[in-house]
Every structure is written in C-alpha cells, then in structure tokens.
Amino acid sequence: MSNQLLAKATDFITLFLGLLVEAIPFIFIGVVVSVAIALFVNSEKVFALLPKNTYVRRFFLSIMGMFMPVCECGNVPVVRRLVMKGFSVSEAITFMLAAPVVNPVTFWTTWEAFSGSHEMAWARLIAAVVIANGVGIIFSFVTKQETLLTKKFYAQVCEIRYNDHYYHNPQSKWEEAKSIFSSEFIQNTKMLALGAIIAAAFQVIVPREWVLAISGNILLSIVAMTILAFVISICSNVDAFFALSYASSFPLGALLSFLVFGPMIDIKLLMMLKNTFTIKTLGLIVVLVALSSTVAGLTFHILWQ
C-alpha cells in the first residue's frame, strides 16, 4: 500500500510540475502582450479599424488569435485587457474561446500530429471559430454586459477606462509596465497553480481504464474525451500529440471534441478565469462549449468516419 501511495504521490508531483512548466512560458507571453495593449494600443483606433457590422466584427475578433501564438493560459491576461480597453464582454469571450485553437502553433501541431488525416486540423479550426462566434452571439444578448464580470474586476475596468482619458507620461511608462506585469503575472500564476493541483489530483485518482472502457460508443466516447480534456488541462499547443495516442481506441469525432473543448475550457483555465467572470457566466460558457463540442464531434464522425 505504501508503495502505491508513493507512486501516486510521485505521479501527482510530476503532473503538477509538468502543467506549470508547460503553461508558465505562455502566461509570460500573454502578460507581455497584455502590457503592450495597455500601454501602446489606442482603443479608439482599433475600434475604427474593425468592421461596424456586429457579426463581421465578432468574426474578425475570433481569428485575431492567428497573430498571437499563445495557448489558453496566455490568453487570459489578453482577454482581461481587451475588456479594459472597451471591448464588450461577449466580444472578449469570442476571442478567448477561439484564440487558443486558431493560433498558428496549434494549427501546425495538429496538422503534424494527424498527418494522415489533415481534415482534423481544418475541422478543429472551423469548429473553434463557429463555436466561439456562436457563444459570443448568445452572450451579446445580455443587455448589461458588466453583470457577466465579477464585481472586483468590473471595478478595475471602470478605473482603467477612467484613467485612459488622461495622457500617459512617457517617463512613467516603464513603471506602469512593471506594475501591470507583476500584478497580472502573479495573479494568473496563482490561479494556474491551483488549477494544476486539481487537474493533477484528478489524473491520479481517475483510472485511465474507465475512459477506455466506453470507447466503443461514439456519444460516450465524446463525453469521455471531453471530460478527459477538462481534467488533464494540457496546453493547446501540444494537445494534438496527446490526442493522437488515443487514435487507436477512440473515433476521430471524439478526438475532435477533445481538441476543441480542451483549449476553450479546462480546470486550470476556470481557476484563472474565476477572478474575471462570475460563476454563473463560467457555468454557462462550460455548458455551451460542451454541447457545441459534442455536436462538432458527432458531425465530424458522420462525415469522415
């Protein structure tokens, strides 16, 4: 018994550290992008460049991740900064859901992992854009967008928007950059660590055999792979190679659901987002993305299996 406990403890520590090492570099990149947006992006000019049509505008936001090669963890500070810069919450959610999948590194790794089935890379990209836009449209019907945010973060948004009306002294920009970076990096890293602890614990406790036992049924396979994606919280830049290890056991439709749902929603990401969005908002996002990912997986299974 003691040997089993020691093995589980070793696995837990390995998984926990692996998640941290995998995600922290992307948090760093995401925070740097957040600082750059805060100091150098003129929100009025950005708004002027975006299409006026609500749906076309949201589509452009959903593909902005092509120019930001960071995974879901690195996108959290960027999403927060977009809201602070005046984007609606529904628009920020659209960007948040699509960006981890449409970024070029994710597409390339998916293309390489499923080199014998390049349809997977394209299906993943298309599904992510469609789901992100669909969820964003649903949230756009919320009249008071601020109710989707936590009170603490909304207070920050109000303060930032108020201060943005004033001229930034160039000599103070370095100090401002350090302040924003330290605040965002520490907060996101703390939430990442908490999420990594939960994710590692689940992986140690839940036997892999349970997942494999239901691989014969397409719907149950999708559910199993969706739960797996939620639990393991693997980075979107490398998750395609992990999914490939299940290709001999699970249908491609289930793997697609894994590759779409995981980058949009997982344990560590929820822990990082709970300081930004209300629990009710996060719950609705999870439900909508889970249902959409299931439909995407079933559709892919019918068309390509």
CA distance 171 to 150: 33
pLDDT at 167 (0 to 100): 43
pLDDT at 44 (0 to 100): 55
Tell me which amino acid residue 224 is: A
Count the neighbouring beta carbons within 10 Å of the beta carbon of residue 238: 14
Tens-binned pLDDT, residue by residue, of the chain (305 aa): 577 788 888 888 887 887 777 667 767 776 787 677 667 766 556 656 778 888 888 898 888 877 765 666 667 777 887 888 788 899 999 999 998 899 887 888 789 888 877 899 999 999 999 999 999 999 999 988 889 998 888 887 776 655 554 444 555 677 777 777 887 778 667 766 776 787 678 768 867 677 667 767 889 999 988 988 888 777 777 788 778 777 777 889 999 999 999 989 988 888 888 888 999 999 999 999 999 999 999 999 998 76
Name the residue ranges covered by the structural domains of the chain: 2-304
pLDDT at 136 (0 to 100): 94
The residues pairing with 41 across neighbouring beta strands, listed in sequence order, are none
What residues contact residue 289 under an 8 Å CB cut-off, 6+ apart? 97, 131, 135, 261, 264, 265
CA distance 290 to 222: 10
For residue 169, the 8-state DSSP code is P
Tell me which amino acid residue 170 is: P
pLDDT at 166 (0 to 100): 42
Closest CA to 273 of 131, 149, 183: 149
- Assess contact for 133 and 62: CB atoms under 8 A: yes
